[in-house]
Amino acid sequence: MKPWPALLAALLLTGCGGGVAAPPPTLIATDVPGEPLAFMNGEGGWVLSRIPPRFPYSVTIGPTFDVMSGAGGSTPFGCGITSRQGGYFSGPRGRLTCVSRQRDGQLRLAVLGNGQVSRVYDAAPVRDQFQVVAQASGRAGVTITTVSSTGDLIDSIALDRRWSPDQAVLLHTGRLALLHRTDGRCLWTVLERAADAYVVVSEAPADHAYHCHASSQGAGLFRDQISGQAYVRFRQPTSNALYRIDDNGQATPATRLTPDLARDMTSTDGADANLLTALNGSIYFRLSTEAGPIAGRYDTASGRTTTMPLTSPSGHWNDAARLTGFMLGEHGDTIRMALMQPRSGETVLRPMTTD
């Protein structure tokens, strides 16, 4: 990944409720010689980070992106919530903010829309444009926003309030797959855009009724940062069940790849695999086991899971380096682990190798 000379923050539209206009676009310099930037999937989501991450490890460039696509290629697109606030009844909410790369190689950070959102479901390129699916604060349904290749807002379409999904996935054909509960059933429904609305193409039952509660369990969507392939991880019927999401016509869009991508690894506290990052058909993850922390790699082609124990020379679990994120390589085609040393706080990058 080449050094990026600047991060262009373009706060384009007015604030919530017709407030004061956002400040004009500004340039935030990030081009320190010898310190290129890279995308890293860390504790809170995707972030921009220097290579290697600075101390403390939580210091990053710009906001956190809940969903990201193409971070390993030339056209990254990611969205998250900034200016986050919360209310007792409304829950967390904030401004929808997305990042994309311009033709000159710079990254553009822009606030989309003039309202607040409470959740970002998905963001991905669709037919030479970008789309993001988010839930507007105070609404039961979701809104699909289309953005040009240069990062400018084109339009937004709000779905009927009856569509209140647990998962929403943009398919490569331009269709939208929703996982939702209706009439006591957990269903996958595929919608297609027709003019300024979306119409139903197909419906199919989910493999398990609890799939419609995945988001409340911390499970959900992630994408291959090269191909854009969508995956959803569930915790039912077994821990770390992994599904690939595609446009399968009238059939369900969800194809199960494995009942447990972490295989027989046992967590000490019941926590499941996290920091899930997909690149070139491989899925990387972190897991805490009785023997200590482990970095894992699941190959979607072979179905094989391999691991890399993160132990210390002393053999003590507390002395082992902390895996804080997976960082893409300088050319976007490799994964490196960001490991924080527990005593010094220094973060180092190590290649991901497995047994």
Q: Is the pLDDT of residue 196 over 90?
A: no
User: Rounded to whole angstroms, how far apart are CA atoms 175 and 254?
Assistant: 14
Q: What is the pLDDT of residue 348?
A: 86
Greatest mean pLDDT range, 133-137, 170-174, 320-324, 351-355: 170-174
Q: Using CA atoms, how far apart are residues 109 and 63, in angstroms rounded to an integer?
A: 9
Task: Please state, for a pLDDT cut of 70, what percent of the chain lies above it.
Answer: 81
Q: Which residues contact 216 (CB under 8 A, 6 or more apart)?
A: none
pLDDT at 173: 93
284-297 pLDDT tens trace: 999 877 666 789 99
Q: In 3-state terms, what secondary structure has residue 15?
A: coil
pLDDT of 188 above 90: yes
Which pLDDT belongs to residue 31?
Answer: 46
Q: Which residue has the higher pLDDT, 334 or 29?
A: 334
Q: Are strands 6-11 and 107-126 parallel, antiparallel or unpaired?
A: parallel
Which residues, 6+ apart, have CB-to-CB distance to 187 below 8 Å?
Answer: 179, 180, 181, 203, 204, 205, 206
* Per-residue model confidence as pLDDT tens digits over 116-170: 899 999 999 988 899 999 998 877 779 999 998 877 889 999 998 878 899 999 9
Q: What is the pTM of this model?
A: 0.87
pLDDT for residue 21: 41
Helix (H, G, I), strand (E, B) or coil at 191: strand
Strand ordering across the sheet containing 176-182: 167-170, 176-182, 185-194, 197-205
User: Do residues 352 and 339 touch, judged by C-beta distance below 8 A?
Assistant: no
- Give 221's strand partners: 232
Cα separations (Å) of 293 from 59, 212, 311, 316? Answer: 23, 30, 7, 11
**What is the secondary structure of 123-173 as a DSSP string?**
EEEETTEEEEEEEETT-SS-EEEEE-TTS-EEEEEEPPTT---SEEEE-TT
Query: Are the C-beta atoms of residues 177 and 245 closer than 8 Å to each other?
Result: yes
Summarised one tens digit per residue, pLDDT across range 201-255 is: 999 999 988 899 877 766 789 999 999 999 999 887 777 899 999 999 999 999 9
pLDDT at 73 over 60: yes
At 7 the pLDDT is: 36
Helix (H), strand (E), coil (C) string for 69-123 = ECCCCCCCEEEEEEEEEEECCCEEEEEEEEEEECCCCCEEEEEEEEEEEEEEEEE
CA angle 294, 71, 132 (to 5 degrees): 110
Question: What 3-state DSSP class applies to 352?
Answer: coil
Q: Kindly report, residue by residue over 4-60, the tens digit of the pLDDT.
A: 333 333 323 333 333 334 333 333 334 455 667 889 999 889 998 888 887 665 666
Residue 171: the pLDDT is 96
Beta-carbon contacts of 169 under 8 Å, excluding residues fewer than 6 positions away, are 121, 122, 176, 177, 178, 179, 221, 230, 232, 245, 253
> Among 87, 186, 177, which Cα is nearest to 138's?
87
Q: Phi then psi for 137, rounded to 5 degrees?
A: -60, 130
* pLDDT at residue number 87: 65
